């Protein structure tokens, strides 16, 4: 597939997520809209960046999947994501983005390379994850092997950690199949329904799930062994759902889980 075609597909994928965020925001009470409105804007900025990165081969050496080699080709375009975070992010994120804008190019490059090579989490550096998501997704869409020094989060494409799970009808009609979605490159992969994605625990009595009548499509899948949870979205209830976006409707579940002593495997778009 030509780079231009990949760029078009990436732009469409990010726009679909942004449109879903806007649609959900319109359904929420005023207090529930800001995370979805922020996500819609961020996804559009990321989508434009991802499409631009996918076409780097027409004006620079083609991407290799090695961030240290590729970063120079698109580092100058990362400012759009930072400016959006400054202007539209919640206070803590906006202040962090202001600090990043004030850093020189070498400092910014070092921060991104450290995040990439150390297998860091959005919990520690939301901005680096947001800045690198377009690159990682573009490289994955181009079929490149993403080379990272560290990772091990489970993603078969980049080693990143999953920030969301979902259940979809199995192809063989035998119940629902569970998938995990990578927070860094957007790849998806299946995982058994009875297994902790963090530590591999598979004893059913250690893997409780929790739901709320207020959010019937969302479920917290917890692990008593490592005290980690992942949120799962049931696509069999609404096929229009975009898991990483629909996650934002049920943030109250995340706050409850934190109160109970659980830690989310990888924060979602809201940073929780």
State whether 8 and 137 are in the same domain.
yes
State whether 137 and 7 are in the same domain.
yes
pLDDT for the residue numbered 62: 76
Domain C-terminal end among 141, 176, 201: 141
pLDDT for the residue numbered 173: 63
Give the residue numbers spanning the domain of 27.
Answer: 3-141
DSSP the chain: --HHHHHHHHHHHHHHHHHHHHHHHHHS-GGGSHHHHHHHHHHHHHHHHHHHHHTGGGTSSPP-SBHHHHGGGTGGGTHHHHHHHHHHS-HHHHHHHHHHHTS-HHHHHHHHHHHHHHT--TTT-HHHHHHHHHHHHHHHHTTPPPB-SS--SS-TTT-PPEEEEEEEE-TTSSSEEEEEEETTT--EEE--SSS-TTT----GGG--EEEETTEEEEEEEE-TTT-EEEEEEETTT-TT--HHHHGGGGHHHHHHHHHTT-EESS--TT--
The pTM of the whole model exceeds 0.85:
yes
Residues of the chain under the 70 pLDDT cut: 1, 57-61, 150-152, 171-174
pLDDT for the residue numbered 244: 98
Number of folded domains that form the chain: 2
pLDDT tens, residue by residue, 144-179: 989 887 666 789 999 999 999 999 987 666 678 999
State whether 91 and 197 are in the same domain.
no
């Amino acid at each position: 597939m030509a780079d231009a075609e990949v760029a078009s597909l990436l732009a469409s994928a990010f726009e679909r997520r942004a449109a879903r965020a806007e649609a959900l925001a319109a359904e929420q009470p005023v207090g529930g809209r800001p995370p979805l409105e922020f996500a819609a804007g961020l996804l559009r900025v990321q989508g434009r960046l991802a499409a631009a990165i996918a076409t780097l081969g027409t004006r620079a050496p083609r991407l290799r999947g090695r961030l240290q080699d590729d970063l120079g080709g698109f580092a100058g375009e990362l400012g759009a994501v930072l400016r959006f975070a400054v202007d539209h992010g919640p206070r803590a994120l906006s202040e962090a983005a202001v600090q990043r804008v004030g850093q020189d190019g070498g400092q910014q490059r070092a921060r991104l390379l450290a995040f990439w090579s150390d297998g860091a989490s959005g919990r520690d550096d939301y901005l680096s994850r947001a800045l690198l998501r377009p690159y990682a997704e573009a490289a994955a869409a181009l079929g490149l092997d993403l080379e990272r020094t560290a990772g091990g989060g489970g993603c078969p494409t980049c080693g990143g950690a999953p920030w969301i799970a979902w259940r979809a009808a199995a192809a063989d009609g035998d119940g629902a199949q569970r998938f995990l979605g990578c927070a860094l490159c957007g790849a998806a992969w299946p995982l058994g329904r009875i297994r902790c994605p963090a530590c591999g625990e598979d004893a059913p009595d250690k893997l409780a799930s929790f739901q709320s009548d207020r959010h019937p499509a969302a479920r917290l899948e917890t692990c008593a062994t490592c005290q980690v949870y992942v949120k799962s979205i049931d696509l069999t209830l609404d096929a229009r759902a975009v898991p990483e976006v629909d996650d934002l409707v049920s943030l109250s579940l995340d706050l409850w889980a934190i109160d109970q002593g659980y830690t989310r495997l990888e924060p979602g778009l809201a940073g929780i």
